Structure 1
């Protein structure tokens, strides 16, 4: 599903066309009903109920998607802080043990950025995560060895190892957060209900002899933008809403120099 958002313009055009077709279908059904004398093209309590449910569902999914987006962005800051804290605590180990640790940290930070830069390609993403995991093990072993040396400060292991543990733990939290999305059933229900609402809106405009292009285009455009923004919040690395630059800035703030 996330591959749909690698081309946001194509997705928006597809949604816009689908809404126009639904509106036109509703208008065509209304014209047929009026011509046969079986019904009148007018609003009803059913229409109001459908639009009310649609509004509620949009509000629910938008709020949930925005909350998940904020949570993912907070995790980026949390990881950057964890890396920065562990980096500063390298100063607790003996001076000659610091360069290997700092080099490993630089490679680790680069691997974390690289992993999420390739999140659209599962093979590359997993490979980058593998490099991060390998570097984590290297950093951990270097820290234990340095902290166990006789010339190490007594608090070296007590302060450095917990910071490293926090830095390592956040990687799993971030990876799992990528799997948290609106359930497919709700997404399908939202899209289906939106198309039904479009058909009902078109049915309500069927009494007019000529098409009201302003209303037709406005309805299709508003619904397209709304649904796209919800979807884009769910996958904030593929479309217009993108956290990649934010992530790079957050990692850069760790000042691994």
Structure 2
């Protein structure tokens, strides 16, 4: 999976352009129908569609915020898990030919790069290879040490590997594209109805419609941006991982 190619600015400009064009033609069509006297408008259609638009925006916003918070917590949890496993690894009996401290330094650097990588699948493969090295070290430890220390280390290593997998797929999975498409479709219907009514009534004040479209596009872009927390303006802090890296590099 590669980095998302659609930036928040692209999403904002695309949605704004589409809605402005739709509103322009809907307004002109409403004026034309009024002059011909061939159609009547219903006062409940526009409020109903705008209400539906508000509902799906709220739904999407809630889901994106929930995903963002989950990803943020997983960064801290993984940093804590790596630190705990590393500290317990340092008190194990040394295994000839394996520098366990270097294994953990390399693994932590890979996990930091994972968030910033262009190709997530590639970084996941690197993580898996280094996890295998850590597990190989653990297996060799058990050949010589079956003490409580070894057992304590196992209780730290397994959760560290598990949380890495959880974080991988939590970060890669975003809201289905169908939700964004449905939201934009409902917005098109809503602003078409709104501006058709305005044209039908010969309302000449256009700034309020422009502001409404702009506000919708800002919220729509915000939902998209926070859902794609690696690529946009709102990102997840990696400070916890950096702090653990500094701790490991300075640990004697």
In 2, Cα distance between the equivalents of 1:230 and 1:31?
34
- How far has the Cα of 1:96 moved from its partner? 7.6
The Cα offsets for residues 22-60 of structure 1, whole Å up to 9 and x where unpaired, read as 2112211211111112245x6611111111111111111
Matching residue of 2:138: 143
Matched, 1:217 2:217: no
Alignment of 1:40-51 (within 5 A): 44-51=43-50
Matching residue of 2:126: 131
When the two structures are aligned, how many residues end up with a matched partner?
A: 245
The Cα offsets for residues 180-215 of structure 1, whole Å up to 9 and x where unpaired, read as 3333333322110011111122123213353x2321
In 1, Cα distance between the equivalents of 2:109 and 2:52?
46
TM-score of the pair, normalised by structure 2: 0.87
CA contact (8 A) 2:68 2:227 kept: yes
Residue ranges of structure 1 left out of the alignment (5+ in a row): none
In 1, Cα distance between the equivalents of 2:96 and 2:206?
72
CA contact (8 A) 2:107 2:127 kept: yes
Q: Residue 93 of structure 1: SS of its match in structure 2?
A: coil
TM-score of the pair, normalised by structure 1: 0.86
CA contact (8 A) 2:92 2:149 kept: yes
Of 183, 186, 190, the residue aligned with 1:197 is 190
Q: Residue 94 of structure 1: SS of its match in structure 2?
A: coil
Matching residue of 1:104: 103
In 2, Cα distance between the equivalents of 1:10 and 1:183?
18
Residue ranges of structure 2 left out of the alignment (5+ in a row): none
